[in-house]
Structure 1
Amino acid sequence: MEITKTSKYYLLLLLVVMLGSCKEESKKKPTRTNTGGLVFNSSNKELDKAFSWAKNKALSYAHDNEDPVGYWYEAALPDREAFCMRDVSHQAIGAEILGLGKHNYNMFLKFAQNIGKGKDFCSYWEINRYNKPAPVDYENDQDFWYNLPANFDVTYNAYRLYKWTGNKEYLNNPDLINFYELSLNEYVDHWELGSDQILYRNRSLHAPENPEKSRFGNKRGIPTYNEGGRGETLLGIDMSASLVAAYKAYSEMLKHRNDLLQSEKYAEKAHQEQEFLDEFWWDTERQEYRSILYGDGNFDYFMVGEDQAFLHYLFYFDAIQDDSKILDLVEKYETNFGKLIVELKSYLPIIFYENNKSAMANRMIINLCSPLNARRAYPENSYTVIEHITRGLMGIDADASINGFMSLSRLDKKNDWAEIMNVPLLSNKISVKHYGKTKTTAHNVNGGTIKWIAKIPGVHEFLFVNGEKTTCTIENNGLQSYSYLDIDLKKDEKATVSATPQS
């Protein structure tokens, strides 16, 4: 067949289009999920800019079921195209606030489905978009990178996701139940992580037979999230704190499944591990927490040289109850904030919001999102900023067991104001606006009737609901007193709670 000039032109044009399509496919951009109008505004315009940047940046890392792994978002080093157990656990609530519930559930399920005896009851530390273990961390089932707190971190945050979403699959999915059970039994025993064994275990337990010929050696089983240090690390305090949190979380999950006998069993295990943490990791002579135990029998404390302090995990895993110890650590982190890496800084703002240092927390968030921050693009940073502002500054949290949410203003000054709109939680979307610390309005934007636990800082005999004087309850958590009452909000219903009728 003779090819005319016109035919040649169209063939050339078709080739260009095809090559262009291949080029675009190879560069494959993230797909952005519609958040349904999540918006934050406040009297602090720098904070507004930080939230806007974090929201857009985080969503640029979200992928909507176009890859073999399914719904996922980046939760590892930038451009690695993967998600890591620690990072996903820490980013999950921020992701939920951004509307990435399908992504969270899929990624948690992937970790659960890949736990196995052949990997010594580990999962894949990092999974990529192709539904494979990320090659940078994995050679084969006997040779891979793994931080041992990861199984407990995933378990703890699966329960947090249930509380936020009400998704009972986090309680009942067989693959997830298998992961929780293996992690809190076989995994603990196999790696000798319980308080009765952990001080006597072999640091290179289950390392490859010829570690000198392997890629990762005894990095297959690091007993802490601290990957640096100044010698052979035997144990980190985060290992103990994560186990406490996982036992508590699974005890609560079992309670929701009406298995009260097993729930009691795990609650007792949590109590035992908490006692070990309180006794072993607290130095009574120095009156401070130890953070890392080394092979030579020495400890790190808050900071040693350029090593990072890993005591923030006591807050993150809710494993510290003593008010004086809390305040001491908060002060240390405030003083040393500038010396810390982004991954660690990303845990801190909510700690400051919850401990009456809102101005410092605001500065931290603005710093984390600043163009001057060379590592602000780290995915963990943007996702956690969303959580810090929503749960920290706005004091919003959800509890599926009561089909409700709570709010508590942590604004710094009485003339400050802040509002966040269209926050997805449970089966609803809600909006909350704080006027200083004396007045809050909540709106059940979408979804069925939901309980609002409206908290106002300070001790008040009465609060005013839409101007009507109402008896309230006072609670003191040691560091802060607040007054609260419950209101049922129907779909599209608004209510205002204030300390005075004129507020």
Structure 2
Amino acid sequence: MEITKTSTYYLLLLLTVMLGSCKKETEKKPTQINTGELLFNSSNKELDKAFSWAKNKALSYAHDNDDPVGYWYEAALPDREAFCMRDVSHQAIGAEILGLGKHNLNMFLKFAQNISEEKDYCSYWEINRYDKPAPVDYENDKDFWYNLPANFDVTYNAFRLYKWTGNKEYLDNPDLINFYELSLNEYVDRWELGWDKILNRSRSLHAPENPEKSRFGNKRGIPTYNEGGRGETLLGIDMSASIVAAYKSYSEMLKLRNDLPQSEKYAEKARQEQEFLDRYWWDPERKEYRSILYDDGNFDYFMVGEDQAFLHYLFYFDAIQDDSKILDLVGKYETHFGKLIVELKSYLPIIFYENNKAALANKMIINLCSPLNPRRAYPENSYTVIEHITRGLMGIDADAATNGFISLSRLDKKNDWAEIMNVPLLSNKISVKHYGKTKTTAHNVNGGTIKWIAKIPGVHEFLFVNGEKTNCTTEKNVPQPYSYLTIDLKKDETATVSTTPES
């Protein structure tokens, strides 16, 4: 067959049209492959971008077993190549969601293994990749930087990690048990941190003999995470909140180890410290919490200047129970959150999600991850964003003691939707998708049978499981009332819970 110029022209034109059509179709319907990695998608595309940026940024800070310190991730000021006790404690759940369980356990063990009597039962505040105390914070065992809530923060978050992972190392590892015991006994006594002594202690307790010749002086024992303020700080409310959380957590750990007498002992200590916090830090005349006590006997309350507000630790350490006080404090943070520095903002979104302010929480997360935020690269920021979206927006949490997880939609509007896939918790990976506040689907992607406590916002007489009407239970005495039921999900099983029979 002879091919003419005309036929060649039409053949090329046909190929061009066909290729162009294929290209447009490919662009129109991109294929997303679930490779088993943590993924988040929602109707809020800015929030999707924030999650993606936070995940990639956080993982860029993770280091495998190539350094002398072992598995670790950066949890300090950027470029320090180190991890400090406060930051690791705050970043740990986000890290676990990102699959960094080996890193968490190794770093918690490093803190535990370096507690010593020579340091008055402190550990190393900051450890670097060379498995040494970071020189910027440490001169020798008598001269170093240390914020005293740190031991309690680590204890509290070790228990949180157990609940999320089911890893019994957090309950039974001898080094960790030694750290918990020393921190809640010898450490408390040596630094006079109990409720009956803390108001009369010396602010320069255990400072170097010649503080004028030391690098850190009485910074060796700062009784708060507040490192600024308008004078010599004697005490912070976060000190009290952290010890309440640590005593409660260790009491629960002892209960899980079947040591009920010791569990009761620490539960009673927690009760006494909570009573002190409620009595001392609450100002009945002003009807608000005090936050910082200074050496002149005066207090700060919610704000100091434009960047200091330390009452968020009441939420973080679960040390505030009164609903009216919670709502009042949430309102204060809603008014002033724009003035706070990144380290403080990184605690807040989950507080807003849990108190019916999802739109504000979303806005804050997008802001924290924006290229316009000059401090978005701070490691704490990216790790906590992962937790805020997973535990805050999606309402996912785990409880190793019951081999279960919960979900609760905190989406802002009824037409919103969001899904998070391949979340590692306990010995499983799970995926959850919320459709507004009326329907949730959960998938046990990998792992053995797991209990799903499916919570649906609102008060309902019954719910539908895969379209079948099912009795449920209602919880009304919370900021966001909900109804719930429990489903056993086998490996690779999916279930849907909704308020209507359509699924």
List aligned pairs for 1:208-223, cutoff 5 A: 208-223=208-223
> Quick one: structure 1 residues 307 and 361, their matched pair in 2 at CA, closer, same or farther if it must change by over 3 Å?
closer
2:327 aligns with 327
**Shift in Å at residue 176 of structure 1?**
0.1
Matched, 1:483 2:463: no
Distance 2:62 2:303 in 1: 35
1:444 aligns with 444
1:257 aligns with 257
1:142 aligns with 142
Matched, 1:382 2:375: no
SS in 2 for 1:118: coil
SS in 1 for 2:218: helix
Contact 2:211 2:218 in 1 (8 A): yes
Give the partner amino acid of 1:47. Answer: L
1:127 aligns with 127
**Shift in Å at residue 479 of structure 1?**
1.6
1:79 aligns with 79
Unaligned ranges ≥5, structure 2: 1-34
The structure with the largest alpha-carbon Rg is 2
Give the partner amino acid of 1:353. Answer: Y
Contact 1:459 1:482 in 2 (8 A): yes
SS in 1 for 2:221: strand
Distance 2:173 2:152 in 1: 17
Unaligned ranges ≥5, structure 1: 1-34
**Shift in Å at residue 305 of structure 1?**
2.1
Matched, 1:198 2:198: yes
2:160 aligns with 160
Distance 1:408 1:307 in 2: 32
**Shift in Å at residue 307 of structure 1?**
4.9
Task: Show CA shifts across 1:6-54 (max 9, x none).
Answer: xxxxxxxxxxxxxxxxxxxxxxxxxxxxx94100000000000000000
Distance 1:146 1:40 in 2: 37
Distance 1:304 1:421 in 2: 41
2:21 aligns with none
SS in 2 for 1:492: coil
Give the partner amino acid of 1:174. Answer: P
Give the partner amino acid of 1:230. Answer: R
Give the partner amino acid of 2:493. Answer: E
The normalised TM-score by structure 2 is 0.93
User: Pairwise CA RMSD of aligned residues?
Assistant: 0.9
- Identity between Structure 1 and Structure 2 (%): 90
Contact 2:350 2:361 in 1 (8 A): yes
Contact 2:307 2:339 in 1 (8 A): no
**Shift in Å at residue 180 of structure 1?**
0.1
Contact 1:396 1:407 in 2 (8 A): yes
Distance 1:230 1:99 in 2: 41
Matched, 1:373 2:412: no
Contact 2:307 2:340 in 1 (8 A): no
1:405 aligns with 405
Contact 1:408 1:456 in 2 (8 A): yes
List aligned pairs for 1:180-199, cutoff 5 A: 180-199=180-199
Matched, 1:94 2:97: no
Task: Show CA shifts across 1:228-266 (max 9, x none).
Answer: 010010000000000000000000000000000000000
SS in 2 for 1:124: coil
1:51 aligns with 51
List aligned pairs for 1:221-232, cutoff 5 A: 221-232=221-232
Give the partner amino acid of 1:220. Answer: R
Matched, 1:395 2:373: no
2:22 aligns with none
Structure 1 stretches (4+) deviating beyond 3 angstroms?
none
- Aligned residue pair count: 470
List aligned pairs for 1:283-302, cutoff 5 A: 283-302=283-302
Distance 2:62 2:305 in 1: 37
> Which moves more between the two structures, 207-216 or 473-482?
473-482
Give the partner amino acid of 2:150. Answer: A
Give the partner amino acid of 2:418. Answer: A
Give the partner amino acid of 2:236. Answer: G
Distance 1:426 1:251 in 2: 21
1:23 aligns with none
The normalised TM-score by structure 1 is 0.93
